[in-house]
Amino acid sequence: MAPLIEATGLVKEFRRPRRDSGLTGALKHLVTRRFDIHRAVDGIDLRVGEGESVAYAGPNGAGKSTTVKLLTGILVPTAGEVRVAGVVPHRDRIANAKNVGVVFGQRTQLWWDLPVGDTFELLRDMYRIPAADYRRSLGRLTEVLEIGPLLPVLARKLSLGQRMRADLAAALLHQPHILYLDEPTIGLDLDVKDRVRTFLRQLVADGTTILLTTHDIGDIEEVCGRIVVIDEGRIRHDGPVEVLRDALASASSVRFQLSASAPLDLIRERLGDAEVTAPGERELVVRFDRTTRTAGAVAATVMGLVEVRDLRINDEGIADLIRRIHRPDEVTARSGAA
């Protein structure tokens, strides 16, 4: 069976105006029109079968959102081919739109100045959803996403968590069999995150094909069966999520933001076998073995030695983590240099 999403040699270049500073620079640009070419997506081959749930992960600026925009037809590829459910998205935007749902975590798809319920009705009209289907679909989504009370509220008055749930409903009203999610849990509270993940798991169980970009290991572990890691526009890793889960079970890390620079030697002395690095002047990352110590103990030790402004557990970059699984030496060398 042909894959549902199929990208071959996909390339997207952006032209950035090259301007020297000052007025002469601006004038020169007007005349010469020089541009820097930036390759955001650099030859991606991706096949996603029906019913798969794929995490598309990678550091900031890796090209995740650009890939989603290419797959949804918002952007026209510089080179390469895309086909989604037999349709070339940028060539036949409207046919493609009916097959897919899209959620951008950072940007709402709702009409900003309309009540949520009005948005849903407009979408019903645009997608030509038959009345009975619409009622069923809306009923189900309002129930699972608990958005009933939000229907009369203006989209711009919603909290981030409410907005995300309304956005999910808006993307799913027409019951698409493919759902793209670009950082769907970014900035959400833990309990909303949980609800969204549970909902997505349910969709996958019901047969919806999902492609989800994220920085969040939780999204990947709980929703996806396969992870594709991209960095600098290229695919670096493609495999089942279990591999990642195993790595997480034994390794863990805490990242600290400090008020002053860290007394590295002292911290290393206290933490024994843990790996302590300082990626920035007031930043500290401690990697440790979960079987011998806990994140809490590590945090307590560090806080006893230096004033901590903020700390995050396990937010090691996913790309780093994957690289560590495959090429442990390379990353150690990199963090040593930092």
Partner 1 sequence: MHTLRVYRRNLGAHLRATLEYQADFWILVVAAVLTQGAGLVLIATIFARVPRIHGWGVWEVVLIFAMMVLAQGTSELLAEGTWGLAGLINRGELDRMLLRPYPCLLQVCASRVGMNAFGNVTVGGGLLVTALLHLDVAWTPARIGLALVLLPSALVIKVSLTVVANSTSFWLRGAINTFAAGMDQLGELTKYPLSIYGVGLQAVLATALPFAFIGFFPVSVFLDHGRLAWIGLLTPAVAVYCVLLAVTVFRRGLRRYESAGN
As measured in angstroms, the least distance from the Cβ of 127 to ligand ADP is 27
Considering only the stretches 58-66, 167-175, 251-259, 293-301, report the one whose residues sit in contact with ligand ADP under the rule CB under 6 A. 58-66
The smaller minimum CB distance to partner 1, of residues 71 and 220, is found at: 71
Spatial distance between the Cα atoms of 284 and 262, rounded to a whole number of angstroms:
7
What tokens were used for 211? 């492609």
The smaller minimum CB distance to partner 1, of residues 15 and 245, is found at: 15
Phi, psi of 26 (to 5 degrees): -65, -40
Q: Beginning with the edge strand found earlier in the chain, give each strand of the sheet holding 251-258 in spatial order.
A: 275-277, 283-289, 251-258, 308-313
Determine which residue in the list 69, 195, 237, 324 makes contact with partner 1, applying CB under 8 A: 69
The smaller minimum CB distance to partner 1, of residues 128 and 281, is found at: 128
What is the contact surface with Mg ion in residues (CB under 5 A)? 64-65
As measured in angstroms, the least distance from the Cβ of 58 to ligand ADP is 6
Contacts with 306 (C-beta within 8 Å, 6 or more apart), sequence order: 258, 259, 260, 262, 263, 267, 284
Determine which residue in the list 3, 11, 13, 14 makes contact with ligand ADP, applying CB under 6 A: 14
The smaller minimum CB distance to ligand ADP, of residues 54 and 274, is found at: 54
Determine which residue in the list 6, 42, 57, 66 makes contact with ligand ADP, applying CB under 6 A: 66
Helices marked H in the chain — which ranges?
22-32, 64-72, 93-99, 116-126, 131-145, 160-172, 190-205, 217-223, 241-250, 264-271, 295-305, 318-326, 328-337
Considering only the stretches 64-72, 136-144, 194-202, 210-218, report the one whose residues sit in contact with partner 1 under the rule CB under 8 A. 64-72
Considering only the stretches 118-126, 191-199, 237-245, 312-320, report the one whose residues sit in contact with partner 1 under the rule CB under 8 A. 118-126
Q: Looking at residue 87, what DSSP letter applies? A: B
